[in-house]
Structure 1
């Protein structure tokens, strides 16, 4: 993994950063996340958000281990295809991943748990800050939940600075904090490329990434939200990827720019 002080938005990614970077001689800016609390207590945020329901957002799903531990999010883009982040699936075998759909409360048995038969990761993916942070999962069955269309090259207007977008996930409600028991949502405006470049320098690659946040911070995705959707105009425009901490002023969340990968994603949907 490339050396970076930026925090991935997945549980497993954050743990890898926390463990490997000190061994490589780098300091880690933030602590590894604590596991979810046993009683499943929930804060009021993704960071800065509110409760949401899969009845309203039927295409939002989460990735879990075979033992049921939720570690990333995803978006159902076809009956048996889920788009998520490459850093959520790199190194995983398909048999080890579960996709949970139609479940607001992680402690419940609602919805359906599907197995994964194939994991596609962008062939040029190395590290989230280098771009290409996109993965497509093939499920062992067709789900009945509604799917979400992906943004394409013709959807440039959806990426305009200031566009209101929706983020969703079951991740932590503060950087390094406890995971949410329930699906949460929040609204954030897209930032300009210049704003994101100012925050992250050469790690921000406009062709591959888009950022979203309020200038003052306070609302953001966080650990456990990786791979989940950034939605605008009724389409999947981004995939939760990485950022500096969570909800910090001046450091927007960074998302994979879906329109840039629409052709490859469509190929996987049709495969």
Structure 2
């Protein structure tokens, strides 16, 4: 159906790809991990540099060597929402969360250890839905959390709504990851249009965003990062067909559909 955008790069996938090139995204490793033709989501294609001060809740995930492989969102002082495909099968001690750091080249912000990983129990792969996970940290972060969309926020999912997507992923399909935070704005796509692009699209579990002509999208390394509408987390970078291709919008986990399950983890 589509390519994950770590789209899909787990810690294991990233390490496997390291032998290829330290500058390449781990799309090939993600495909091997998932058993599908997934290509990892790009960092951000067609975007522009963003200030972490304006988006304090966006974070990125690294392995213990500091290699970034996915994104995430602060939903509570010690809780991060990300994509299940980013951390499925990983042990907490293998993942770190970097918050408050705009550029990977500096040491700003906080590097927090992960003490717990919850992956949605119905998750199988990004193309099947339930691509959501919650990380528990060993410390509280000072960053302001982002509100999480609930079932009462159906208006936020209307086709044509402008959404912001952020990440440190690739800036071109198959390209290198960005060293600094990037942001792009894309319109939400109707379920009907997304169904045309992806016959196996599940409206109850997913939401699409992108321009018909392409050109702007999340990409490899952006997986797990936020899709934001009116200051609420409505989507999680999940999968798609390549990056920024015409008539191939990005697919995001529909956060509102999993609000209750996620909230239980945030409250635990």
Distance (whole Å) between structure 1 residues aligned to residue 30 and residue 144 of structure 2: 35
Distance 1:49 1:81, change over 3 A: same
Q: 1:258 to 1:20 in 2, by over 3 A?
A: closer
1:253-264 counterparts in 2 under 5 A?
A: 253-264=250-261
Partner of 2:267: 270
Gaps of 5+ in 2: 11-26
Report the alpha carbon displacement of residue 261 of structure 1 after superposing the two structures with TM.
0.4
Select which of 22, 26, 29 maps to 1:16.
Answer: 29
Q: Which runs of 5+ in 1 are unaligned?
A: 35-44
Give the C-alpha shift of residue 15 in structure 1: 2.7
| Separation of aligned partners in 1, 2:184 and 2:131 | 22
Q: Which residue of 1 aligns with 2:199?
A: 201
What is the alpha-carbon distance in structure 2 between the residues aligned to residue 121 and residue 15 of structure 1? Answer: 22
Tell me, what secondary structure is at the counterpart of 1:67? coil
Shift of 1:91: 1.0
In structure 1, how many angstroms separate the alpha carbons of the residues matched to 2:50 and 2:118? 29
Instruction: Deviation per CA, 1:194-248: give whole Å up to 9, x if none.
Output: 000000002x100000000011000000000000000001100000000000000
Q: Could you tell me how far 1:19 is from its partner in structure 2?
A: 3.6
Q: Quick one: structure 1 residues 20 and 141, their matched pair in 2 at CA, closer, same or farther if it must change by over 3 Å?
A: closer
Q: Is 2:3 aligned against 1:7?
A: yes
Q: Is the 8 Å Cα contact of residues 33 and 177 (structure 1) preserved in structure 2?
A: no
Change (3 A) 1:145 1:29: closer
1:265 and 1:33 map into 2 onto residues whose CA distance is: 23
Matched residue, 1:37:
none
The 1:178/1:192 distance shift into structure 2, 3 A limit, reads same
SS in 1 for 2:156: helix
Aligned partner (choices 250, 253, 259) of residue 247 of structure 2: 250
After TM superposition, what 4+ stretches of structure 1 lie above 3 angstroms from structure 2? 16-21
Q: Secondary structure at the match of 1:239?
A: strand
Alpha-carbon displacement from aligned partner over 1:79-131 (angstroms, at most 9, x marks no partner): 00000000000010000100000001001111000000000000010010000
SS at match of 2:198: helix
Provide the C-alpha distance between the structure 2 equivalents of 1:136 and 1:95, rounded to a whole number of angstroms: 15
CA separation in 1, counterparts of 2:187 and 2:116?
A: 34
**Secondary structure of the corresponding residue to residue 15 of structure 1:** helix
Aligned to 1:42: none
RMSD of aligned C-alpha atoms? Answer: 1.9
- The two structures have a TM-score, normalised by structure 1, of 0.89
TM superposition shift of 1:188:
0.3
d(CA) in 1 for partners of 2:135 and 2:208? 24
Separation in structure 2 between the aligned mates of residue 178 and residue 233 of structure 1, nearest angstrom: 30
1:17 to partner: Cα distance: 4.6
1:120 aligns with 2:118: yes
TM-score (norm 2): 0.90
- Residue pair 1:94, 1:119 contacting (<8 A) in 2 also: yes
CA distance in 2, matches of 1:191, 1:77: 25
The correspondence of residues 41-60 of structure 1 with structure 2, limited to 5 A, is 46-60=44-58
